[in-house]
Structure 1
Amino acid sequence: MRQLLHFDKTSSIIGTSTESTDTTKTADKIPGNYVRRHLDGVYVDPKDADYYPVAVMIDNDPNARPQAGLAQAQIVYEALMEGNITRFMAIFATASSTLPEIGPVRSARPYFVDWAQGYNALYAHVGGSPEALTELKMTAMYNINEFYQGKYFWRSHERLAPHNVLSSGENFYNYLNNLNVRSVNYRSWQYKDETAETHCQASACQNIDINYNNPLFAVSWQYDSEQNQYRRLMASSQHNDADGTPIAAKNVIVLKVPSQIVDAELRRHMQNIGAGKAWYCLDGACLEGSWKKASAREREVIYDDKDKEVKFNAGTTWIEVVQYDGSINVSNF
């Protein structure tokens, strides 16, 4: 379905980034005409299912914490930058007034541009590496750069520069609305209904630890059996949004992607086009499989060990990108 982008402050959604989407609890509340949202599989009114996605580069320097709006994203990628720090790309299903602050917004890198192209999203950033900016010029994907479209961003006096550039869902809506763009087609993943029978049992439940070789960026995903979701810890502490909202995910995916340092600034090239090993975690259990991304313009798809596409739980998905098998540790609790 293709439609004109519109701004609806009263859109109806069953399940959000911070709510349980367990159909054992919500099935009786889902109107019969509702459909799964293209980006995350959450049941919504059909008019809300196909908005233009917005991908925002978000800072993860310790001086940038806590981030704003990260807990409300539907998809989040985390990958290494130069200097063994990580950066996020948060993808939102819609530009909305319920996102008064998003950021701090930071610069583009080419591998994030590749991932954003898989959604044909509006890509929001503050400058970027030469390779990333060249790639953005060559792609048909819309991008909004604070260097040239500064009126859609502001700099907070309560944060240290350069970790102080913020924007909002309404600003991104206004940008897209001025372009009069239509919603776009991209591949949706497959989603399943949640039932208590699919959840892990007692000691079989698993947590996930991600080692980015820097204790300030150490990540843990701890399974919450009551909500059937994972709570995110960073540097051994609960990772909360600026408004205090704990960051959580229904699905956690780890992609193994080879990487090389390419210049004196220690910038990276990631071989994120093609295929590789993946781990996918949902319902308290982690399994090995693979990822495949045929081109920059196609979204990667996750497959199980029998090469069958994985069906995920509806709701927020975090995608952690690592270079080595030893960067991920899965443990029972």
Structure 2
Amino acid sequence: MFKNISFKKGAILLGILALMAFSAACNRNSTGNDADTSPVPTEDSTNFDYIEQPSPEPDSDAEAVDFHFPEKGVRPYAVMIDNQGTICLPQGGLSQAQVIYEVIVEGGITRFMPVFWGQKTELIGPVRSARHYFLDYAMEHDAIYVHIGWSPMAMADIPKLGVNNINGAPGVFWDITKDKSNWQDTYTSMEKLQEYVKKVNFRSNSDKEMVFKYNEKDSELTNAKKAEKVNLSYSAEYKSYYEYDADKKLYFRFRNGKPHIERQTEEQLTTKNIIIQKVKNYDIKGDQYGRQEVNTVGSGEGYYITNGKCIEITWSKSSRTERTKYLDSEGKEIVLNPGQTWIQIFPVSGKIEIE
């Protein structure tokens, strides 16, 4: 079940001519034409030049490394990651993020936004375009937002909200294949992101309150129900499934019925905590591609799952920039166990099965 899969390795440097093409595409956005169209976004069709480079070796110590707690006062990076079809697989960097959001986009597809504090991840991607409601979760962490291209609403919101963002910047991204028609192969690294942030003098410190608190040691939920299998159907084609391993005290993650693999380690993704946040979503009126509005502000219900157990929770968020609060049945904020957390921003109309 946890069999590794093989994949083509490679890394390439960003080309100046390709960046000029990308800039032209972004300029076209300003006329009202959205460069991120569905199902094949044209801004993602812009390929960076391929130059053969040694690929980072898989991190053989990945499972042995202790959890790197999010550090108070340090700004993290939030990166838009492709999850469309199978060409994007395996994605890179998900295993090293402390927090990962999965949210629906147009066509019933989902997209990921891993958030990194202090990690030295060498392959993060494939990087894709912004959606405006992802900003709401990036801002509550005071994160530097990384993407290539944007929807019209995201393009308007990023400057309006003053979001520090890295959008297809020179020298930060590269393609890992030679296929010029492959718009799902663009990667970055934490080193490249940090170099760019230093160059443009983005603020690296934060006085924002941390979204989550953590237990110092692993802790069991009380008054909880069994949660050894968690199945989330975002749509008919996009499903996230978790299966608990009692020996490892981790959930193994599956994507659309198959083990979800990390590119760097070639191993199946695991997580310690799962938060399911039920939200309302609907098509944006007049959007020809069926892009979504997601009600991130307000309140609702959900679940917190860890160590094979589950409790019902409620969530609330007072504004787009404020943090989401996740409360247990007694009205106390949940405290996470040390380890990675997947936050499933899940449609209220979707199907959830917890066993």
Normalised TM-score (structure 2): 0.75
For 2:258, which of 237, 241, 244 is the aligned residue? 237
For 1:63, which of 87, 95, 101 is the aligned residue? 87
Partner of 1:261: 283
Deviation sequence 1:305-328 (CA, Å, 0-9, x none): 221111110121001111126521
Partner of 1:73: 97
Checking the alignment, whether the CA contact within 8 Å between 1:85 and 1:214 is kept in structure 2 is no
For 2:213, which of 190, 212, 218 is the aligned residue? 190
1:140-289 to structure 2, matched below 5 A, reads 140-146=162-168, 149-157=169-177, 161-180=182-201, 181-188=203-210, 189-195=212-218, 198=220, 204-215=226-237, 217-243=238-264, 244-262=266-284, 263-289=287-313
For 2:141, which of 101, 114, 119 is the aligned residue? 119
Q: In 2, Cα distance between the equivalents of 1:290 and 1:20?
A: 32
User: How many residues are aligned here?
Assistant: 287
For 2:132, which of 101, 107, 110 is the aligned residue? 110
Unaligned runs of 5+ in 2: 1-60
Partner of 1:45: none
Letter in 1 for 2:175: R
Matched, 1:53 2:76: yes
- Residue identity (%): 30
SS of equivalent to 1:162: coil
Letter in 1 for 2:136: D
* The 10-residue stretch of structure 1 (160-169 or 321-330) with the greater mean CA deviation from structure 2: 321-330
SS of equivalent to 1:150: coil
CA separation of 1:204/1:134 partners in 2, compared to 1, >3 Å: closer, same or farther? Answer: closer
Normalised TM-score (structure 1): 0.80
Q: CA deviation at 1:20?
A: 8.2
Letter in 1 for 2:139: Q
CA separation of 1:204/1:261 partners in 2, compared to 1, >3 Å: closer, same or farther? Answer: closer
CA separation of 1:287/1:204 partners in 2, compared to 1, >3 Å: closer, same or farther? Answer: closer
Letter in 2 for 1:52: R
SS of equivalent to 1:58: coil
Q: In 1, Cα distance between the equivalents of 2:121 and 2:66?
A: 21
Q: CA deviation at 1:115?
A: 0.9
Letter in 1 for 2:156: T
Checking the alignment, whether the CA contact within 8 Å between 2:227 and 2:305 is kept in structure 1 is no
